[in-house]
């Protein structure tokens, strides 16, 4: 099989040192890496170090006479399977979003017809600046994908917040998912079980109890897992979305039906419980439509608690998936409530979704989430649901790969 080739565009920043490890890992997997270094990147990492690891020359100058005699920036942008920008600085993001091409890196990006993955790294205030966020949204609309930034303390300033370059293992998983979107992907051979959408608990033939869930996030996670090579079972409540191509999709209506479908789909390596399951159902749904009497008398509606699907599967004595990820939609004290839920329900990870009115509502196209694990909380910046899905799958891939190496 012909080796995959990526072009790695290194921006300026202390995080550039992580790219040395990334290049090494890619080369170990048989990926050819051609590196373009901006002038700022060369202040942090030497081209000699990069060349030694990539086993190729490093490209730095738009006006290199030897390269540009053969239109070098066009050749670089086309003779690859993927372009990765890491660290993607605020300056590089701004240039790409606005079509600038005044150096080799930006010219390669503008001339490319390949998929592009950007891994931002910058000061938190620079990342959160409205100008940067506008540029990111524009690039997303143009079809460029992002991974990160991670949240933490900045090496150069001591400030904390979103802005750290994701770790090489996570970035590697995202790259492999794009280079090998079929059975050879980063989750090849893994079975990923995902629940999505709401449940509808009937009150009578025309009314039901439900949550405000569109299923967009769960379906996006299923698509990202398929792209990473996983075998995916998607258990979906009633949604208007089409099922992702490649998923084995089981349609259900109620919480009890969803639990039964999840049990039937086991065993699984990973279970991601993204569905918004109604907490309650009518004890005895009416066979006929409940009508108003006209005298103001209120119908008596007795409710019983639905099964907790996440907790049930997480506490299985045998056959429990190796990694269980729960979702928690909260409107207040988001991290505290979700952290408590992770412990109480027995999940390995919980993705806490802030659905308070000032951040948006369930069913929207963007999420602001916090990944809660046994070791702490990683707060992600606002992302599209596709970005959340791809970042989550990349984190899962990195974890499974690390566990496999330690065995």
pLDDT digits over 215-267, tens only? 999 999 998 898 888 999 999 999 988 888 788 999 999 999 999 999 999 99
Binding-site residues for CTP:
279, 289, 307-310, 327, 341, 345
Hey, how many other C-beta atoms are within 10 angstroms of the C-beta on 315?
Answer: 12
Angle between helices 90-97 and 104-111 (to 10 degrees): 40
pLDDT of residue 310: 96
Give the whole-angstrom CA distance, residue 42 versus residue 145.
Answer: 25
Give the whole-angstrom CA distance, residue 119 versus residue 127.
Answer: 12
| Domain coordinates in residue numbering, the chain | 5-179, 191-286+297-406
For residues 237 and 199, the answer to whether their CB atoms sit within 8 Å is yes
DSSP states of 332-366: SSHHHHHHHHHHHHT-SEEEEEE--TTT--TT-SE
Binding-site residues:
279, 289, 307-310, 327, 341, 345
Give the whole-angstrom CA distance, residue 301 versus residue 250.
Answer: 30
CATH 3.40.50.620 matches 5-179: no
Chain length of the chain: 407
- The CATH code belonging to domain 191-286+297-406 is 3.40.50.10300
Asked if residue 359 has a cis previous peptide bond (ω within 30° of 0), the answer is: no
User: Which segments in the chain show pLDDT lower than 50?
Assistant: 1, 68, 71, 183-184, 359-361
Asked if residue 344 has a cis previous peptide bond (ω within 30° of 0), the answer is: no
Hey, how many other C-beta atoms are within 10 angstroms of the C-beta on 360?
Answer: 16
For residues 36 and 107, the answer to whether their CB atoms sit within 8 Å is no
Give the whole-angstrom CA distance, residue 37 versus residue 27.
Answer: 18
Give the whole-angstrom CA distance, residue 192 versus residue 182.
Answer: 15
pLDDT of residue 363: 54
CA 334 to chain centre: 19
pLDDT of residue 154: 66
Q: Which three-class secondary structure state does DSSP give residue 95?
A: helix
Is 5-179's fold the same as 191-286+297-406's?
yes
Give the whole-angstrom CA distance, residue 53 versus residue 49.
Answer: 6
For residues 358 and 334, the answer to whether their CB atoms sit within 8 Å is no
Please confirm, yes or no, whether 211 is among the known catalytic residues: yes
Give ∠ CA 247-253-256 in degrees, rounded to 5.
100
Nearest partner of 217 among 238, 201, 194, judged by Cα:
194
pLDDT of residue 155: 61
Q: Which of 123, 129, 135, 211 does the annotation list as catalytic? A: 211
Read off the pLDDT of residues 33-75 as tens digits, 9 standing for 90 and up.
999 999 999 999 999 999 999 888 888 887 765 554 554 667 7
Asked if residue 96 has a cis previous peptide bond (ω within 30° of 0), the answer is: no
pTM (2 decimals)?
0.60
pLDDT of residue 186: 76
């Amino acid at each position: 099989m012909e080796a995959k080739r990526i072009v790695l565009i290194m921006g300026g920043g202390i995080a550039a040192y992580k790219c040395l490890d990334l290049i090494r890992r890619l080369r170990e997997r048989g990926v050819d890496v051609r590196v373009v270094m901006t002038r700022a990147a060369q202040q942090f990492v030497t081209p000699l170090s990069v060349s030694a690891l990539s086993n190729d020359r490093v490209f730095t100058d738009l006006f290199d006479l030897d390269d540009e005699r053969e239109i070098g920036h066009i050749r670089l942008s086309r003779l690859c399977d993927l372009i990765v920008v890491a660290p993607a600085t605020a300056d590089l993001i701004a240039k790409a979003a606005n079509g600038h091409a005044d150096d080799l890196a930006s010219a390669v990006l503008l001339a490319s017809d390949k998929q592009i993955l950007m891994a931002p790294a910058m000061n938190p205030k620079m990342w959160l600046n409205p100008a940067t966020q506008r540029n990111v949204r524009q690039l997303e609309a143009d079809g460029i994908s992002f991974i990160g930034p991670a949240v933490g303390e900045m090496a150069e300033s001591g400030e904390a917040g979103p802005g750290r370059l994701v770790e090489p293992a996570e970035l590697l998983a995202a790259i492999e998912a794009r280079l090998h979107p079929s059975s050879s992907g980063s989750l090849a051979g893994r079975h990923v079980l995902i629940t999505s959408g709401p449940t509808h608990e009937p009150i009578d033939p025309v009314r039901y109890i439900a949550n405000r869930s569109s299923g967009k996030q769960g379906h996006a996670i299923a698509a990202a897992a398929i792209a990473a090579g996983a075998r995916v079972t998607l258990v979906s409540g009633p949604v208007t979305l089409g099922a992702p191509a490649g998923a084995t999709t089981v349609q259900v209506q109620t919480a009890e039906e969803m639990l039964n479908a999840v049990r039937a789909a086991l065993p699984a390596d990973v279970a991601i419980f993204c569905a918004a399951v109604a907490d309650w159902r009518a004890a005895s749904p009416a066979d006929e439509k409940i009508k108003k009497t006209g005298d103001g008398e209120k119908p008596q509606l007795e409710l019983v608690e639905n099964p907790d699907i996440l907790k049930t599967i997480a506490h299985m004595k045998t056959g429990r998936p190796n990694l269980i990820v729960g979702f928690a939609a909260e409107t207040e004290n988001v991290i505290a409530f979700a952290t408590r839920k992770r412990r109480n329900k027995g999940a390995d990870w919980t993705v806490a979704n802030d659905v308070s009115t000032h951040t948006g509502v369930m069913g929207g196209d963007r999420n602001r989430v916090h990944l809660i694990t046994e070791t702490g909380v990683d707060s992600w910046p606002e992302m599209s649901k596709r970005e959340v899905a791809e970042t989550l799958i990349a984190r899962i891939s990195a974890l499974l790969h690390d566990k496999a190496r330690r065995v």
